[in-house]
């Protein structure tokens, strides 16, 4: 079977909660202290995957991590307990759900050895995310174990922050053709941390064996980070020949677009002007955190959060764009409100891998029946609600462990 793009969605874990851990992520900060609904959150994620399957797109999954992360707490000389609520919240976060931050992926047609390369992200800027990579790496090593087709790399060492595919875009005439890989990095100095460093991106590109002539390193605009674009995928998204970006996403958009047109003359750049959609509205609505997908018939569609449809300027722009002669032909709305309230939209919830599905461990691929089974496990085992003031309750940790174990058993997957 030919190479195709597969979206691997992170299943929302049973400890999903609003502890406000991510500085610079305005939604997460705004909702700090609110009561979360892990079961509804996970089922929203399943419904999004069902909708993508119905569009004819192949679908994969990544699993919730063990929480609280006892190994991480032990390394800090702490055991899970009420003594240090902030440390506990960091050990309990369900943040691995945002699979766009799991790794950076370079498909086989772009790499020197003709294999698909994956580099697990170190996520070192935020404490609650910095301990994700060991289990993410374990899952990637299972799902992409076939070394004839995949190379899986460990994290880039500190102090170079790497947040994975959320700051990486790929444009290509077709998913299975050589493309241009674009690494977007942040420059420190604004009010919020710049989570992706240029050095980390350069290291990933070298390790993946990318052709320097077809690799671009592009700076995020300071205005975007200051407005709450803690990852580039909050202000830009690319698929196939189409780049959709906010006018203020990049420090030097003209230089970037010129490079892109030189390397890929057929590129279609859809820039959303700030006088149609302000940066604030872009970030509030997550217009750009949509999944830009190529449907089996070749059309390009945008899978948006329902929240985007509720901001009038955003809805007007999207409807006009899809009704005109531009490359985006269809809009689909999905409700992922529980994830959105922590700053994660449809695109954050998925990691794209271009590969032949037959070369991937089938336990990490799902069809409609597989999703039904996962939904049944979630409906039985996931807590209905979590009040972040009560995360020190050992009953919650026990329920979380049992819930995850039930899901791993259903998939036949053994993880520590
Ligand atoms: O890293 N939120 C995540 C959201 C990640 C979104 N991903 C992409 N844009 N690709 C983050 O900021 C909030 C958790 C908390 O505050 O409890 C959180 O981690």
The predicted-structure confidence for 171-187, as pLDDT tens digits, reads as follows 999 999 999 999 999 98
Does any domain span residue 319? yes
At residue 304, the pLDDT reads: 97
Question: Ligand 1, closest atom to CA 126?
Answer: 1
More confident residue, 78 or 307: 307
Q: Where are the alpha helices (DSSP H) in 144-274?
A: 198-208, 222-226, 253-263
Q: How far is the CA of 340 from the centre of ligand 1 (A)?
A: 9
List, by residue number, the catalytic residues: 163, 231, 348
Identify whether 53 is part of a domain.
yes
129 lines ligand 1 (CB under 6 A): yes
Is there an atom of ligand 1 within 6 Å of 139 CB? Answer: no
Burial of 1 (0-12, 13-18, 19+ CB in 10 A): exposed
Residue 81's pLDDT is: 64
Residue partners of 354: CB distance under 8 A and separation at least 6: 3, 4, 5, 6, 105, 107, 108, 109, 116, 175, 176
Ligand 1 atom at shortest distance from the alpha carbon of 164:
10
Alpha-carbon Rg of the chain, whole angstroms?
20
Report d(CA 262, CA 258) in Å as an integer. Answer: 6
Give the C-alpha separation, 288 to 109, whole Å.
26
Q: Which atom from ligand 1 is nearest to the alpha carbon of 123?
A: 1
| CB of 343 sitting under 6 A from ligand 1 | yes
The pLDDT, as a whole number, for residue 79 is: 74
Ligand 1 pocket test, pick from 28, 85, 166, 228 with the greatest ligand atom count within 8 Å of Cβ, gives 28
Three-point CA angle 263, 266, 267, nearest 5°: 75
Number of domains in the chain: 1
Is residue 312 a part of any domain in this protein?
yes
Cα(162) to centroid(ligand 1), Å: 14
Domain at 41, CATH number: 3.75.10.20
In a domain, 341, yes or no: yes
In a domain, 416, yes or no: no
Interval 362-389 mean pLDDT = 97
pLDDT, one tens digit per residue, over 313-361 is 999 999 999 999 999 999 999 999 999 999 999 999 999 999 999 999 9
Task: Convert the pLDDT of each residue in 250-264 to its tens digit.
Answer: 999 999 999 999 999
Write down the pLDDT at residue 78: 83
336 CA to middle of ligand 1, Å? 14
What is the structure's pLDDT at 85? 85
Ligand 1 contact via 233 beta carbon (within 6 Å): yes
The CA-atom distances, in angstroms, between 133 and each of 155, 208, 279 are 7, 18, 31
Check whether 48 has a pLDDT greater than 90.
yes
What range defines the domain where residue 73 resides? Answer: 4-411
| Single pTM value for the model | 0.97
What's the pLDDT score for residue 192? 87
Q: What is the pLDDT of residue 209?
A: 98
Per this entry, what is the length of the chain?
416
Distance from the Cα of residue 333 to its chain's centroid: 17
């Amino acid at each position: 079977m030919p190479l195709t793009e597969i979206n691997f969605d992170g299943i929302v874990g049973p400890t999903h909660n609003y502890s406000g851990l991510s500085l610079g992520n305005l939604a997460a900060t705004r909702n700090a202290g609110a009561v979360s609904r892990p079961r509804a959150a996970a089922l929203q994620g399943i419904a999004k995957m069902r909708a993508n399957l119905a569009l004819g797109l192949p679908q994969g999954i990544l699993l919730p991590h063990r929480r609280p992360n006892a190994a991480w707490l032990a390394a800090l000389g702490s055991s899970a307990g009420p003594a240090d609520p902030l440390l506990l919240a960091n050990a309990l976060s369900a943040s691995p759900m945002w699979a766009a931050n799991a790794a950076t992926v370079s498909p086989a047609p772009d790499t020197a050895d003709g294999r698909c390369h994956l580099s697990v992200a170190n996520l070192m800027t935020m404490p609650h995310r910095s301990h994700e990579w060991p289990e993410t790496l374990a899952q990637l090593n299972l799902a992409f174990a076939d070394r004839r087709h995949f190379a899986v790399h460990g994290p880039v060492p500190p102090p170079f922050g790497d947040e994975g595919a959320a700051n990486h875009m790929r444009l290509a005439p077709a998913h299975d053709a050589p493309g241009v890989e674009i690494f977007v990095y942040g420059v420190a100095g604004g009010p919020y941390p710049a989570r992706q460093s240029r050095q980390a991106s350069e290291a990933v590109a070298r390790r993946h064996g990318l052709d320097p002539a077809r690799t671009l390193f592009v700076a995020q605009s300071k205005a975007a980070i200051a407005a709450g674009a803690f990852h580039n995928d909050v202000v830009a998204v690319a698929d196939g020949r189409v780049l959709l970006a906010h006018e203020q996403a990049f420090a030097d958009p003209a230089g970037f677009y010129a490079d892109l047109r030189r390397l890929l003359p057929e590129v279609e750049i859809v820039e959303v002007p700030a006088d149609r959609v302000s940066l604030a509205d872009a970030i509030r609505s997550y217009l750009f955190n949509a999944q830009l997908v190529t449907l089996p018939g070749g059309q390009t569609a945008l899978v948006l959060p329902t929240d985007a449809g509720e901001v009038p300027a955003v809805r007007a722009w999207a409807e006009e764009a899809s009704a005109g002669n531009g490359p985006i032909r269809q809009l689909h709305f999905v409700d992922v409100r529980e994830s959105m309230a922590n700053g994660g939209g449809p695109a954050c919830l998925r990691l794209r891998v271009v590969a032949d599905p037959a070369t991937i461990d089938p336990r990490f691929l799902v069809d409609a029946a597989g999703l039904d089974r996962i939904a049944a496990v979630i409906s039985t085992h996931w807590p209905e609600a979590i009040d972040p003031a009560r995360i020190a309750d050992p009953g919650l940790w026990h329920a979380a462990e049992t819930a995850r174990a039930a899901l791993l058993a259903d998939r036949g997957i053994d993880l520590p």
